[in-house]
Amino acid sequence: MHWLDVQQIAEALVDLHPEIDPVHVSFPRLKSLVIALPGFAEQPGHPCNERILEAIQQAWIEERE
């Protein structure tokens, strides 16, 4: 799993952090949570940016609904 696996990351966050409301998660904290996911590894040429974090946050919100 890497930064472009937005849906897979959102599903993992729902499973591992049901107590966290993604609406109130800052991007620095979100990035830390994603990096800490089991099986996550950054890929060369696919760095994290605000757009990716927004997509992850939105997918996480939708996954919780």
The whole-number pLDDT of residue 45 equals 87
The residue that leads in pLDDT, 54 or 65, is: 54
Secondary structure (DSSP) of the chain: --TT-HHHHHHHHHHH-TT--GGG--HHHHHHHHHTSTT---BTTB---HHHHHHHHHHHHHHH-
* Residue 10 main-chain phi, psi, to 5 deg: -60, -45
pLDDT tens for residues 18-55? 999 999 999 999 999 999 999 999 998 888 999 999 99
The whole-number pLDDT of residue 46 equals 84
Domain ranges of the chain: 6-64
Residue 58 clears pLDDT 90, i.e. is over it: yes
pLDDT tens for residues 9-23? 999 999 999 999 999
Tokens representing 15?
């499973």
CATH of the domain spanning 6-64: 1.10.10.600
Cα four-point dihedral sign 55, 57, 63, 65? negative
pTM of the predicted structure, to 2 decimals: 0.94
